[in-house]
Amino acid sequence: MTPDPIAILDSITSTHNLQSTTTLHQQQHPAHGILYTVFVRVGQVSYQATDGDIARAHARAASEAIAALESQGYQRPRRHYRTEINNIGSRYGMRVEYADECRGPPHNCTWISMVCVGGIRLGPGVESREKGAARESAARIAVEYFESKGY
């Protein structure tokens, strides 16, 4: 599951209330056949990419816009790894479970969490002072594993 540049750009522009539009031009090239040029405009600046595949052209133009926005200090919204791993589990029919352990006295406990997806434990236990933070870190490891495998 590779991050989709178009979705990332949409999330950046909506988070920061930036206006964006996309325009498509199609042309017949004598040597290359049909070429698509996609223009992504954010505010007053336009980014473009040309390719024989419309989706690839759109993704490249969006990636250029993202790079420019990030260099200007605009940040991507924070990822919610627990939601993402639950979505992966749901999409592929795998159950997502957390194994949590509290070490230390109840008033000063360190939480250790690990996530199991489809009955397989992914990653080592992750420690944190808060149970939710430990689960979020464990979910991040699982999401990164699935992304590396192309899910």
Spatial distance between the Cα atoms of 60 and 66, rounded to a whole number of angstroms: 10
Domain 5-71 identical in fold to domain 81-148: yes
Instruction: Let me know: does 100 contact 111? Beta carbons within 8 Å.
Output: yes
Please report the pLDDT score of residue 7 as a whole number.
85
Q: Domain limits of the chain?
A: 5-71, 81-148
Tell me how far CA of residue 62 lies from CA of 25, 27, 38, 91, 109, in angstroms: 15, 20, 9, 26, 44
pLDDT in tens, 9-31: 988 998 888 999 999 999 887 88
Q: What is the pLDDT of residues 60-92, one digit of tens each?
A: 999 999 999 999 999 888 888 999 999 999 999
Distance CA 93, CA 14 (A): 31
To the nearest 10 degrees (0 to 180), the angle between helices 131-148 and 81-91 is 50
- Least Cα distance to 76 among 120, 13, 34, 118 occurs for 13
Output the pTM of the full model: 0.56
CATH class of 81-148: alpha beta
The answer as to CATH 3.40.50.1820 being correct for domain 5-71 is no
